[in-house]
Structure 1
Amino acid sequence: MNSQTPFAQALLNPELACPGGLKTWNGSDPEVRFAVYRNNVTVSLIDALADTFPIVQELVGVEFFRAMARVFVQASPPRSRIMAYYGGSFADFVESFPPAMSVPYLADVARLEMGRVMACHAADVPPVPPEALQVALSDPQGLMSLRLLLHPSVHVIASRFAVFSLWAAHQGALCISSVDLAAAQTALVFRNELDVDTVELPAGAGQFVKSLQLGETLAGAASTASSGDHEFDLVNTIAMLIRLQLITDITTVRQPS
């Protein structure tokens, strides 16, 4: 949707007048018909956000969520016809939305939910064959200069709050009363064949994965992870990535001669 055209601007901004030049097939008032169409479009976009962020809606209630989503829709109309990705900036909006600041973990829950949507629609890339992994990881001299490419569905959400436990509680896996909201957690989202999975990671492992996604070598990613988490376990983290079949390519960074 091109938000720069007068029609699109008026469509999502109720303060703007009906665009001029509109006609109806039966001669009825175009302003009335446009108002109905405007409302239907807005409601449809709010419904799309509710489908993407069901836990966010549960946490704040339907009335608050839909009011917040309406403000977002008016400020951030779709830029693509692919509605599955609509709401990519919703978490950032929630984080800066004054009425939602009393629920400080809400934006990270939105990031987790959007990560699951993105993981669902990510490209399907096969993992590195086990024998290739074995050869690459068994070379002590070249090990730390390796660069691991991870599956496109991988998303890491590092939060100051118990974002994974909140998500798990809303899946029925935990009792919500047992969740310590102030406990920092890191969640790993990825797709396993056709199913999207979400697991909790140690903070260092989450930083390691994010560093790999930024193109760092094994050595660089491990150093970054260790500096932020002294309990970071490189061997167990690599084993986890192998077990979940999230490594899709291995390259070796040439060292300067």
Structure 2
Amino acid sequence: MNAQEDFVAALLDPERACPAQLTAWNGSDPAVRFAVYRNNVLSSLIDALAASFPVVQQLLGEEFFRAMAAVYARHSPPRTRILADYGADLPAFIEAFAPASSLPYLADVARLERLRIRAYHAADAAPLAADALTKALASPDRLASLLLRLHPSFGLLESAFAVVSLWAAHQGALTLAEVDPYQAQCALVLRNGLEVEVFGIRPGDALFLQTLQQGLPLGHAAQRALALDSAFDLGTCLAHLLRAGAITHCAYDPQRPLP
């Protein structure tokens, strides 16, 4: 291990001694100064995680969250300089973190919060004008080959838990007493301007959007959605997507011949 690797390893491991190569310009004890620096680095990483996962912190309580975040930070240091990217694998860590096992929905709440961060930093794209889609829908014989492109901020989460309601409760839209966390929900995450929004959607809508996201045409997506959910309504779903600015482009699939 070279000096730089030794420094990094010691920085995140309180059991390691101060690197032997360190000296202080004013003659003070390098070990004392390094301990202060180590604490500041760890505290900064925990603060970054708390800023990215506020609902997870509220569900756990600040003391528990910071203790868990310290364990995570020591084993998973940042891999880039962009702290907004830090914590991408925290949901998986939470799933395996035994002290948090009494809250089985916690990892999916963390996944929802990660989707919100990704959406906030996603590229901009102008939403499709309503009349452009109306024009395309005016040719029903070609709907099967219509391709829709979704906004770069679009994110989808299917959960066995009430992640949308749990998130909403911590925004003041509901009370926790109203939420049954063990009700499955699908979440659509989308940025509208600078505001990231979270919508609860039906399973059929979620499958429809997943299929579009895979680059498959509207007709195929609608068939899959209806097979899963007989209450799926294509018109209602498309209207909601247009209002939310979720569609940015539409075109007919060149691989499918005209009828």
Who is 1:164 aligned against?
Answer: 164
Question: Within 5 A, what are the aligned runs for 1:141-180?
Answer: 141-180=141-180
Unaligned runs of 5+ in 2: none
1:19 aligns with 19
Taking structure 1 as reference, are residues 21 and 199 closer, same or farther at Cα in structure 2, changes over 3 Å only? same
In structure 2, do the counterparts of structure 1 residues 19 and 214 end up closer, same or farther at CA, with 3 Å as the change threshold? farther
* Cα 1:231/1:96, change in 2 over 3 Å: farther
**Which residue is equivalent to 1:65?**
65
- Whether the 8 Å contact between 2:161 and 2:185 is mirrored in structure 1 is yes
Report the Cα offset of residue 78 of structure 1.
Answer: 1.0
Q: In terms of mean alpha carbon deviation, does 217-226 or 197-206 score higher?
A: 217-226
Question: 1:98 and 1:216 mapped to 2: Cα distance?
Answer: 40
Q: Distance in 2 between matches of 1:147 and 1:159?
A: 27
Q: Verify the 8 A CA contact 2:49 2:69 in the aligned structure 1.
A: yes
Could you give the per-residue CA deviations for residues 116-145 of structure 1, whole angstroms, max 9, x where no partner exists?
A: 222222111101233322222222232122
1:106 partnered with 2:106:
yes
Q: Following TM superposition, by how much is the alpha carbon of 1:103 offset from its aligned partner in structure 2, in angstroms?
A: 0.4
Trace 1:81-160 onto structure 2 (pairs within 5 A). 81-160=81-160
Task: Describe the SS at the equivalent of 2:156.
Answer: strand
Identify which range, 21-30 or 9-18, moves more after superposition: 9-18
TM-score (norm 2): 0.91
Is the partner of 2:211 in helix, strand or coil? Answer: helix
Identity %: 54
Give the direction of change, closer, same or farther, for the CA distance of 1:20–1:222 in structure 2 (3 Å limit). Answer: farther
The AA in structure 1 aligned to 2:202 is: P
Aligned-residue offset at 1:202: 0.9
Which aligned runs of 4 or more in structure 1 are off by greater than 6 angstroms?
Answer: none
1:24-43: CA deviations, max 9, x gaps?
11122222211211111011
Q: Output the CA distance in 2 between the equivalents of 1:64 and 1:196.
A: 27
Q: Does 1:189 align with 2:186?
A: no
- The one-letter code matched in structure 2 to 1:230 is S
1:200-224 Cα offsets, whole Å, 9 max, x none, are 1111112222222232222332233
Question: What is residue 74 of structure 1 aligned with on the other side?
Answer: 74
Give the secondary-structure state (helix, strand or coil) at the position aligned to 1:91: helix
Deviations 1:157-184 (A, max 9, x none): 2111111111111111112111112211
Query: Which residue is 2:203 aligned to?
Result: 203
With the length of structure 1 as denominator, give the TM-score of the two structures: 0.91
Task: Name the CA shift for 1:136/1:88 in 2 (closer, same or farther; >3 Å).
Answer: same
Contact kept in structure 1, 2:145 and 2:256, CA below 8 Å: no
Q: Separation in 1 of the partners of 2:10 and 2:215? A: 43
Deviation for aligned residue 1:45: 0.5
Contact in 1 for aligned 2:42/2:70 (Cα 8 Å): yes
Alpha-carbon separation, structure 2, partners of 1:166 and 1:235: 29
Distance 1:214 1:77 in 2: 33
Range 107-116 or range 41-50, more displaced: 107-116
> Aligned with 2:141: secondary structure?
coil
Aligned residues: 254
Counterpart position of 1:244: 244
Relative distance call for 1:227 and 1:94 in structure 2 (3 A) is farther
Specify whether residues 248 and 17 from structure 1 end up closer, same or farther in structure 2 by C-alpha distance, changes over 3 A only: same
1:9, 1:224 → 2: CA distance?
Answer: 50
Is there any run of 5+ residues in structure 1 with no aligned partner, and where? none
- Tell me the secondary structure at the aligned position of residue 215 of structure 2: coil
Residue aligning to 2:31? 31
